[in-house]
Chains A and B, each alone.
Chain A
Amino acid sequence: MSLKPPELTYLDGEMRCDYSWATGEVVGSFLTALRDQGKILAAVCEGCGVVSVPPTSYCEQCCSEFSDFKEVGPRGVVMSWARVADDFEGAPVAAPFRYVLVRLAGADTELLHVAPDDERVKIGATVSPEFKPRPEREGAITDIRWFVPEGEGGGEQ
């Protein structure tokens, strides 16, 4: 008896699940400050004093606890960037756009966010956050629409 090779070699399926993630107090406070006050808060570490943004309740550098919030920025310096060419599902803004790592004034770590696809967005450039209008903010990291370059900004490619 010969078996005819099956035409069907794939079964399509999808896994889609709804989530409601508890943020915890520190992350929750950061997101609330973005939404309600347009402020960017960093965490000061009780042990090593490192100022981390975005903040967590534990220090990723030394394991100690969060001690206090400190407002940082709003301006910062681009430490790295990457240009996204094409749109995709889940993108924060329309392509092309840039991911950036920004060292905000007063912080010891970089915030990862997005920026317009502007030639001025390069390493060393000064950028500042453009917040969405208050009614559009949800208490999410995307309440900052993106970081925009200032003036002609110096720095190397």
Chain B
Amino acid sequence: MTRPVAVIGTGQTKYVSRRDDKNVPEIAREAGMRAIEDAGLDPSDIDAVVIGSAPEIFEGVNFPEDWIAPALGLCPGPVMRIHTGGTVGAATGIAGFYHVASGMFDCVLAVAYQKLSDGEAQYGLSACYDPLWDRDFACGAPALVGLQSRQYLDRHAPAVTEEHGAMVAVKNRKNALLNPYAQIRREITVADVMSSPPVAEPLKLLDCCPTSDGAAAMVIAEERKARRHCAHPAWFTGVGTCSESPYVPHVDMAYPESCVRAAQQAYQMAWIYEPAKELDVAEVYEAFSFQELIWCEALGLCGPGEGGKMVESGRTALDGAFPVNASGGVLSANPIGASAMIRQIEAAMQVMGRAGEHQVEGVHRALAHSWGGAIQFSTVTIFADEI
């Protein structure tokens, strides 16, 4: 029988394209201390730290946890760094979950950060490609997701169109107006998106996420501590991750198997049979607009090819039947290493009733999703208001 584990506090920094006022450890500390305070605790209550970030080349320091973790208040103490690419924020939260679920620790601080402005983000992304096969013509993330989006649109045309991607961008940018942490808080229209400059077809500028500096953190605790310190903990009820081989021609990017399997794992653990009915909200990692539709389908929140209809009907709007990305999503803020944890935090906050102006009424179960690598890593985390 797995030990009950919950998120009892969260912290975020305001996401911006450049934080000139703080260095990398200070940004991580800002989120970490906020989470501890939100949990009503003191740094001395933390038993272990799990820290995560995306490729080290973004900030240019090797084994950066050695430099950064001492700013989080635990040294000397147990620290572990997770690095799984784009999913790392969530993989870090998940590692925090296992630190406590294992019985080895009772109260863990999980922190994820990224300071993209210190280095060259696109160079860092291109350095993920294999030097033997594809680095010579690598062009960052938009190229790969452009391929993915094209595959998706072609497969489901005419039920899904480029305009549906634009509708996702419009919805999420509108939601961001109610999220004080979001970087981009400017309403746009479908016409704005459709006429924005092309980046990697079918992706246009307004279909794409920004690059951001920022950090996010969660305090994760076992049951006794959770009930003592938190009125409405967000219990981990389903956790699933799945990795796939990086050989792109084998990956069905329009309906990624790793996402389907991670979801199955999490649903099984959470005893969820009909996710679209049994979940109330979802936070998915839509670095590019079409991805929101792709992930919703692979997660079983709607059928294959129904993503377009889903967003067009308003079902996933903030006031819809099943809000997706009430926070504004990755389209509104993308500190890469932290983005997946932000999805977990936003999902947890919805369950805890702490999402402020973008709080959805009556949330009992929330899902957080992330993807990474060559569209080969997926995580799904499910939070509930009771166990």
Contacts and interface: CB of A to CB of B under 8 A. Distances in A.
Contacts of B135: 13
A27 B23 contact: yes
Interface stretch (B117-125, B137-145, B150-158, B341-349): B117-125
Contact of A22 (B21, B60, B131): B21
Contacts of A7: none
What secondary structure prevails in chain A residues at the interface with B?
loop
A88 interface: no
Interface in A38-80: 56-58, 60, 63
A56 B71 contact: yes
A17 B26 contact: no
B43 interface: yes
Contact of A58 (B21, B24, B59, B71): B71
A13 B21 contact: no
B127 interface: yes
Interface residues of A, number: 18
A23 interface: yes
Contacts of B117: 20, 22
Contact of B119 (A18, A23, A56, A60): A18
Interface string B1-38: 00000000000000000111111111001000000000
Contacts of A23: 23
Given A11-B131, A19-B60, A24 B26 contact: yes
A63 B43 contact: yes
B132 interface: yes
Nearest to B135: A13
B157 to A, nearest CB: 40
A23 B20 CA distance: 8
A91 interface: no
B22 A24 contact: yes
A17 B131 contact: no
B70 interface: yes
Contacts of A15: 57, 127
Given A27-B23, A58-B26, A58-B71, A19 B131 contact: no
B115 interface: yes
A25 B19 CA distance: 12
A30 to B, nearest CB: 12
Contacts of B131: 11, 13
B132 A11 contact: yes
B269 interface: no
Contacts of B71: 56, 58, 60
Contacts of A56: 25, 71
B357 to A, nearest CB: 30
A-B CB proximity, top 10 nearest? A63-B73, A24-B23, A60-B70, A24-B22, A19-B60, A58-B71, A63-B43, A24-B26, A21-B118, A19-B119
B75 interface: yes
A19 B120 CA distance: 7
8 contacts: A15-B57, A17-B120, A22-B19, A22-B21, A22-B22, A25-B22, A60-B70, A63-B74
